[in-house]
A and B are shown apart, each in its own frame.
Chain A
Amino acid sequence: MRLTKDLLAGAFFLFLGAGALIVSRAYPSGTASEMGPGYFPHLVGTAIAIIGAVIVVKALAQSGDSITVAQWGFRPMLLILGSVTAFALLANRLGLIIAIVALVAVSRFAARDRGLVEFVILTAVLIAIVMCIFVLGLKVPFRLTPW
């Protein structure tokens, strides 16, 4: 058995559908004429699980290329999502400006680009634009600085 894209995805949807069914067991189903909060989730969960199962069966029947982890681009993925998470962690603690600097700094490693001058200019321009639009224009009450 080879781990193909469809096998992985099919299994995921099978579990997602089944999981939705299990979680939504706690919601009363009601009857068709008086749908309870669980009626629609049961319907959708079942459909997802069935399609997931069909995809799994099809994937097992057909031969496909195994997933090669090398092509997944973990580096940009981790750096981009990491930079966003860093922004989320810093925005309220140290203020918006430092959060933006961190966001740009971390995300720029994803393009393997480390020119310092470019980084400084880019960050300064972005901070200036954000200041003009959100702070001066829309007057959003951000915490800007750590103090």
Chain B
Amino acid sequence: MLDNLALGFETAFTISNLLYCLIGVTLGTAIGVLPGVGPIVTISVLLPLTFGLPPEGALIMLSGIYYGAQYGGSTTAILVNLPGESSSVVTCIDGYQMARQGRAGAALAVAAIGSLVAGCIGTLLLAFFAPLLTSVALDLSAPEYCSLMFLSLCCTASLVPSALLKGLVMALTGVLFGMVGTDVYSGLSRFTFGVPGLGDGIDFVIVAMGMFAFSEIISNLVDPEERKLLTTRVEGLMIRLEDLKESWKSMLRGAGVGSLLGIIPGAGVSVASFVAYVVEKKIARDPSRFGNGAIEGVAGPEAANNGAAQASFIPTLSLGIPGSPTMALILGALMIQGITPGPDVVTSHPKLFWGLVVSMLIGNVLLVLLNLPLIGVWIRMLKVPYRWLYPGILVFSCVGILTINMNPLDVALAALFGLVGYIFVKLDYPPAPFILGFVLGPMIEENLRRALLFSEGSYSIFVTRPISAFFLVLTALLFVSILVQILKGGERAVAIGGRSEP
């Protein structure tokens, strides 16, 4: 462990990796604050830029964007009553009230410190559990992987429980599109329709840019967001001791809730912050304070979303199974670097894994420094109009796609995916499960093939092997709980926790 951490420090403290970390967390904070730009869009747009970076640098930077956005998102929630990211939805409730009572500084400080605490706890869990899970994962074989990926897809699909069918069909459609290209076993071209460029399959970057960046820009232009800034001057950023006394337990509880939910595939950061809010309200002595500027209502959820962001790296890096679309993008970035995701990433690329762990600790400290003393800069950025931003996203996307194969047809294909993605959004079909299905699809087919070869064609192998059966029971429980929820008409949770997941 100590050797590994030493290696991590050695890797993370090189000048270039510190720089990538700083770029990542700064960008993350910026997009958390900027209107209409989220981590999925940003990571998609930056993917082509990481081709030329070493794997450690690429992963450190992209990860920084993800957890950095959890910090920036709270700034908008507190000051403008609009979630900068979907994970900050619940922070609006009490954070904005605190700001209205002139306690914006305390709210911002509690959010940042809560995020720091949870970020460090989440990172330590990652350092501890990922290698542990890896040693377990090495014993898993094809049937277990197959069931686990199935569970992962179903979790993501059920993120909006009332729309389970929609999520499932989108995930399956993603799997279908993932098949386009040459089948590795038979050498047969599938679904290429004679188009020569499709022989190698559809590039993941093209799908991500089209479905997320382009379709999101169109959606944002159709429904522009109104921003009314409450105050341009934030005072009293120095947190008072009594504020800290009131909120430190909430931070720890939030960190716990977040880390736990972050590990579970599909649950994600929004659900984590929502659950943390409910927990705080339940155990509070006077629940009526919630909604009127309760400091616990900011500390708990903000700690939870950052804890979940760090913890979601655990299944991604130790099992090779992404729990959320953002993690699917990170996994895609690793594949671009020539690293096959799976349980051996931690052991065969120790520099990458431990470098990332240490960079997360550095990144979280940098984020507090960025977010508290420099808050004035971000407040000014809150007012950057979207009409300056989206042409920039478009230019970066288009030039980025062009660098992949130097083929303008790729850009046109991305536009097509933008059209498809926008139509899906308009029909209320979530694009997030699609990208997860697209990434997982080929892995599911591969493992299904191996499992059935092993069992001589019998599907019973998935239930007779205990770990595989365990995953399938979890999937069944998930479906049952959703059914119960729908029968009880309990769609309240959906109203707050819903929306697409970063």
Would you call A108 and B391 a contact (CB within 8 A)?
A: yes
- Which residues 15-53 in A have Cβ within 8 Å of B in the complex? 16, 20, 23-24, 27-28, 31-37, 40-41, 44-45, 47-48, 51-52
B92 at interface, CB cutoff 8 A? no
Would you call B172 and A32 a contact (CB within 8 A)?
A: no
| Residue from the list B165, B214, B396, B426 in contact with A55, Cβ < 8 A | B165
Cα distance A5–B428 when bound, in Å?
8
The range of chain A's interface size is 35 or more
Would you call B391 and A126 a contact (CB within 8 A)?
A: yes
Would you call B394 and A23 a contact (CB within 8 A)?
A: no
Cα distance A125–B219 when bound, in Å?
25
Q: A13-B169, A32-B457 are in contact. Are A85 and B387 (CB under 8 A)?
A: no
Cα distance A104–B495 when bound, in Å?
37
Would you call A37 and B185 a contact (CB within 8 A)?
A: yes
Would you call B214 and A84 a contact (CB within 8 A)?
A: yes
Query: Which chain A residues border B428 with CB–CB below 8 Å?
Result: 5
A136 at interface, CB cutoff 8 A? no
Would you call A81 and B191 a contact (CB within 8 A)?
A: no
- Which residues 108-147 in A have Cβ within 8 Å of B in the complex? 108, 110-111, 113, 118, 122-123, 126, 129-130, 133-134, 138, 140-142
Query: Which chain A residues border B188 with CB–CB below 8 Å?
Result: 27, 37
B173 at interface, CB cutoff 8 A? yes
Interface flags, B180-219, vs A, CB<8A=1, else 0: 0001011010110000000000000000000000100111
B374 at interface, CB cutoff 8 A? no
Would you call A80 and B183 a contact (CB within 8 A)?
A: no
| Residue from the list A23, A45, A77, A85 in contact with B218, Cβ < 8 A | A77
B329 at interface, CB cutoff 8 A? no
Query: Which chain B residues border A85 with CB–CB below 8 Å?
Result: 411-412, 415
Would you call B217 and A80 a contact (CB within 8 A)?
A: yes
Query: Which chain A residues border B398 with CB–CB below 8 Å?
Result: 84, 87-88, 91, 99-100, 103
Query: Which chain A residues border B445 with CB–CB below 8 Å?
Result: 35, 40
- Say what secondary structure dominates the interface of chain A: helix
Query: Which chain A residues border B191 with CB–CB below 8 Å?
Result: 20, 23-24, 41
Would you call B457 and A31 a contact (CB within 8 A)?
A: yes
Would you call B394 and A44 a contact (CB within 8 A)?
A: no
Cα distance A119–B21 when bound, in Å?
33
Q: A34-B453, A55-B165, A88-B412 are in contact. Are A20 and B222 (CB under 8 A)?
A: no
For B388, give the chain A residue with the smallest CB separation. Answer: A122
B347 at interface, CB cutoff 8 A? no
Query: Which chain B residues border A13 with CB–CB below 8 Å?
Result: 169, 173
Would you call A73 and B169 a contact (CB within 8 A)?
A: no
Would you call A33 and B169 a contact (CB within 8 A)?
A: no
Q: A73-B222, A84-B411 are in contact. Are A8 and B427 (CB under 8 A)?
A: yes
Cα distance A87–B400 when bound, in Å?
12
Q: A27-B188, A107-B391 are in contact. Are A84 and B418 (CB under 8 A)?
A: yes
Return A9 CB to nearest CB of chain B, in Å.
4
Would you call B221 and A9 a contact (CB within 8 A)?
A: no
Interface flags, B385-402, vs A, CB<8A=1, else 0: 011101110111111001
B452 at interface, CB cutoff 8 A? yes
- Which residues 453-485 in B have Cβ within 8 Å of A in the complex? 453, 455-459
| Residue from the list A51, A84, A113 in contact with B165, Cβ < 8 A | A51
For B455, give the chain A residue with the smallest CB separation. Answer: A33
B4 at interface, CB cutoff 8 A? no
Cα distance A110–B223 when bound, in Å?
12
Q: A33-B452, A52-B169, A73-B221 are in contact. Are A81 and B52 (CB under 8 A)?
A: no
Would you call A76 and B176 a contact (CB within 8 A)?
A: no
Q: A41-B190, A45-B176, A92-B408 are in contact. Are A126 and B427 (CB under 8 A)?
A: no
Query: Which chain A residues border B406 with CB–CB below 8 Å?
Result: 141
Cα distance A58–B162 when bound, in Å?
13
- Which residues 86-126 in B have Cβ within 8 Å of A in the complex? none
Listed by A's residue number, 10 A-B pairs whose Cβ atoms lie within 8 Å are A5-B428, A34-B457, A41-B176, A44-B441, A71-B222, A83-B394, A88-B415, A104-B394, A108-B387, A110-B390
Question: Assuming A20-B191, A35-B452, A89-B412, what are 13 further A-B pairs, CB within 8 angstroms?
Answer: A31-B457, A35-B448, A40-B445, A51-B172, A58-B165, A87-B411, A88-B412, A103-B394, A107-B391, A113-B387, A118-B388, A122-B391, A134-B403
